[in-house]
Structure 1
Amino acid sequence: MISHFLKLEWKQFFRSASFGKSVALKIVMGFFALWMLLGFLSISVGGYFILKEEFPDKDPFIVVNNFLIFLLISDLIMRYILQKIPVMDIKPMLILSIKKKKLVNYILTKSIFSFFNFGALILYIPFSIVLISKGYNLVGVLGWLFFMLMLTLCINFINFLINKNNIALGVLVVFLAVVWLSYQYQFLDITVYFGKAFYAVYNYPILSIIALLSVTIFYYLNFKQLSNALYLDGAIKLKEEEVNSADLSFIDKFGDVAPFIKNDIRLIWRNKRTKMVFFMSFFFLLFGLVFFTVKTYRDSEIWQLYGCIFLTGGFAMNYGQFVPAWDSEHYRMLMTQNFSYRKFLESKWFLMVVMTVVLFILSTPYIYFGLDKYLLIVAGFFFNIGFTPLVMLYMGAFNKKRIDLGASGFGNTQGTSAAQFIVMLPVLVFPIIIYAIVNYFVGFNAAIIAIAAVGIISILLRNSIMNFIEKKYQQKKYSTLHGFKQSE
């Protein structure tokens, strides 16, 4: 039966209507996955020697065990964001003479072979080989390795239990922040206690059985949960929700563009994928903590500028790269209405600009890291408020892949094409090139002014540029309509 399921999925993959269209995207994602695995391998093989050099008076294995809690919590958060239960087209199967437990067992077994779990193999196995070559106890290392691999599977099944539970995600993020703060400021350092627990598995390999028992328990809990949900009229049916309309009358003061702004706000708040883009914009505010504190980046102004572009431009980039595909489900209806195309585009521009201003205000506390760091944020802000929205709108004219607004926003590549990768290049690369050249020949302050000037000039030329963009959308109107009719 398992082999039959695999054959069906194989046929589904190659017979999909979107296979030919998205083959380039699959190749790009494949290269990205390979690049990540090579990164895991380099960390795994070289981690021991790097830690030995950085902490010459400490055992690298003990240091790794102390930091494992960060890796495990981050892994669970990333799975929550990106990993989905590998459910095939299960609905047609439920009317066939196939035992439900076989379907559930197949789904859960398939999840074991996910990219995340394979990444754990690349991360832990070479590191264990290095430990054995350095004279660590063979049985202890193998027990520790088995424990970590089983713990990875536990995280795999825990993710399916808590998936789509925003409270669980909030608890994980808060817990990760508490652990990091306790380590950073040495106030009741929690990492030491977790490190001792992981190291105890090395000293007493029999403790690895605990992880195996935990995997069994979480597998059973997932089995029960999925078994109770797999009904034709159960969890797999479309969920209907009553929509509560908010009072957006204050937007009326913006004139003719107000109705479009209202529609965009409702679209963002009422749909999963757009709502996720909105909340992820605030997540990008944390980039400053990475680029201003991590040793690898804090001494490089190029990397810091790269982080500052994301800091205030998170919403403009993530929302703007899918314009006008956000409206793909009702785009044909829109094109039959007697309205100004310019107003439709200006509503998108307005949202990107307003959110950029909001993110800039929220980034004010980063002035704590120094005026030079904050000036990079200011330069990124002016660039993102002027240049970025216009580039995103222009590239949107070439976007012809529809988006299912009700689908999950995490790990969802539906509606993604090569245009989404190309549009990021001018926004991320252009300011870096400007900074590198001007800073080399003139200096830091001149480079900051040059980047900000690009944004200011873009604002001053907005009307002319928007006229050009509007004509491009009108030229591409019918090809866009045809593209949005196609299903993924």
Structure 2
Amino acid sequence: MFKRFSSLQWKSFFRSSNLGKSLGIKILMGFFGVYMLLSLAGMGTGMYFILKKVFPDQSPMWSISQYFVYWILIELFLRYFMQKLPVMDIKPFLTTPVKKSTIAHYILGRSAASIYNLLTLFFIVPFAIVLLFNNYPVLNVVLWTIGVMAIVFCINYVNLLVNKNEKVLIGIGSVLALGYGLDYFGIFSVKTFFAPIFHALYAYPITVFVPIALAVLVYYINYGYLRNKIYLDATLKPKSVQANTSDMSWTRRFGEMGSFLQLDLKMIWRNKRTKSQVFISILFVFYGLVFYTQDIYSSMMPMKAFVGIFMTGIFLSNFGQFIPAWDSSYYSMMMSQNIPMRKYLDSKASLITVSVVAMFFLTIPYVYFGWDALAINFGCALYNLGVNIPVILYFGSFNKKRIELDQSPFGNMQGTSATQFLIMLPVLVAPIIIFSIFYYIFNLQVAVIVLSVLGIIGFSMKNYLLNIITEQYKKKKYGMIAGFKEKAS
């Protein structure tokens, strides 16, 4: 039966009417996936020697065991966003003599074959092979590898249980930030506390049964949950949802633009995919810690400029690149009304402007790492305001793929086209090139001033640029309407 299910899924994929429409993206993502797997294999091969160099007084096995607790938390955190339950259309099978238990086992079995599980496998296996070549005990290394993969499956099935619970996400993120903070400021060594627990998987091979037992337990908890949900009339039961209303009357002070602004704010707050953009933007404020806390990046100013553009413009990039596809479900209705396109674009620009300013204020604490950090973030914020907002709105006129707002926000390529990949060049690459040229020819102050001046010039030309963009949207109007009507695009 498993073979039959796999065959049906395979045929469904290749017979889909949408296969050709996004084939280029699928191939590109496939190459990216292969590149990632090969990179992880290379990293796993070299990790033994890196740990020996960084921690010469410790065994590499002990060193890597210290970071296992962070790896588990980070993987849980990232999987919440990226991994979805591998669903299949089960309704046709519910009227046939196919056991619900078989369907549930197949769905969970497909989840075990997820690429997210392969990522760890491609890292751990080369690392284990290097250990064997360095005369580590074969039995210990093999059982340790099995134990680590059992932990991966635990993470996989735990994620399927908690994937829709935002409170769990906040809890994981808080524990991760708290643990890192305690370690970084030397208050309490979380790494040292958990290292013996994970090192026991290598030192005492019999402990491999613990993660295996946990993986089996979480699997059957998932199985019981899924099996109880597989009913033909499961979706017929009406859901009682508490309505949260807000008239947002304060937006009326913005005149005609206020109605569009109100629609955008309601859309962001009420839908999964748009709401997730807000949470991601806030979380990426901590992205700078990856660079500012590492000595290797201390002299790499262009990298800090990248971080500044990225942190202050994360909402601009994530939300702005899909304008106006966010409104695709009712875009044709809007275009049939007497609605000024310029006001529509003004509201989008205003919303993104507020996000850039808010993100800059959230990055102000990076002044702890020096005034240079604050200056770079300030210059990058001005550049985002003056240059990147018009650029991202202009590229939005090429969006013709529909977005269903109520679908899963992550691991979702809906609405994605070649435009989303091309837009990263002017938004992220161009300012870094400009900054680097003036930084290496002159100095940091000149590079920051150039970014700031470009942003101010762009901001002063806002009306002129928006008029050009408005004409572009009017030219592309009917093409976008036709594209947004294709629900399966």
- TM-score bucket (shorter structure): over 0.9
Partner residue in 2 for 1:81? 81
Q: CA deviation at 1:204?
A: 1.3
Partner residue in 2 for 1:210? 210
Partner residue in 2 for 1:228? 228
Q: CA deviation at 1:297?
A: 2.8
- Which has the higher mean CA deviation after the structures are superposed, 269-278 or 29-38? 29-38
Q: CA RMSD in A?
A: 1.5
The AA in structure 2 aligned to 1:398 is F
Partner residue in 1 for 2:244? 244
Deviations 1:40-65 (A, max 9, x none): 11210001101111121221211011
- Counterpart CA distance in 1 for 2:70 and 2:204 is 23
Partner residue in 2 for 1:425? 425
**CA contact 1:230–1:236 (8 Å) conserved in 2:** no
Partner residue in 1 for 2:138? 138
Partner residue in 1 for 2:445? 445
The AA in structure 1 aligned to 2:286 is L
Partner residue in 1 for 2:164? 164
TM-score of the pair, normalised by structure 2: 0.97
Deviations 1:106-130 (A, max 9, x none): 0000111111111111111111111
TM-score of the pair, normalised by structure 1: 0.97
Task: Report the identity percentage.
Answer: 41
Q: CA deviation at 1:235?
A: 5.8
**CA contact 1:229–1:235 (8 Å) conserved in 2:** no
- Counterpart CA distance in 1 for 2:253 and 2:5 is 57
The AA in structure 2 aligned to 1:110 is R
The AA in structure 1 aligned to 2:327 is D
SS at match of 1:329: coil
Matched, 1:471 2:487: no
The AA in structure 1 aligned to 2:83 is Q
The AA in structure 2 aligned to 1:124 is I
The AA in structure 1 aligned to 2:143 is G
Partner residue in 1 for 2:103? 103
The AA in structure 2 aligned to 1:100 is K
What does 1:42-53 correspond to in 2, within 5 Å? 42-53=42-53
Deviations 1:266-314 (A, max 9, x none): 1111111111112111112111111211334333111111111111111
- Counterpart CA distance in 2 for 1:239 and 1:97 is 29
What does 1:318-333 correspond to in 2, within 5 Å? 318-333=318-333
Partner residue in 1 for 2:22? 22
The AA in structure 1 aligned to 2:15 is R
SS at match of 2:98: coil
**CA contact 1:229–1:236 (8 Å) conserved in 2:** no
Partner residue in 2 for 1:294? 294
1:408/1:452 CA distance change after superposition, 3 Å: same
The AA in structure 2 aligned to 1:146 is I
1:226/1:4 CA distance change after superposition, 3 Å: same
Partner residue in 2 for 1:5? 5
Partner residue in 2 for 1:457? 457
Can you give the 5+ residue segments of structure 1 that lack an aligned partner in the other structure? none
Partner residue in 1 for 2:279? 279
- Counterpart CA distance in 2 for 1:66 and 1:460 is 52
* Number of residue pairs aligned between Structure 1 and Structure 2: 488
What does 1:14-413 correspond to in 2, within 5 Å? 14-234=14-234, 241-413=241-413
**CA contact 1:312–1:377 (8 Å) conserved in 2:** yes
Deviations 1:199-223 (A, max 9, x none): 1121210110111111111111000
- Counterpart CA distance in 2 for 1:429 and 1:239 is 46
The AA in structure 2 aligned to 1:4 is R
- Counterpart CA distance in 2 for 1:478 and 1:144 is 59
1:64/1:238 CA distance change after superposition, 3 Å: farther
- Counterpart CA distance in 1 for 2:375 and 2:235 is 50
The AA in structure 1 aligned to 2:256 is D
Deviations 1:211-238 (A, max 9, x none): 1111111111000111112223336989
Q: CA deviation at 1:166?
A: 1.0
The AA in structure 2 aligned to 1:173 is G
- Counterpart CA distance in 2 for 1:154 and 1:208 is 13
- Counterpart CA distance in 1 for 2:38 and 2:218 is 30
- Counterpart CA distance in 2 for 1:174 and 1:261 is 32
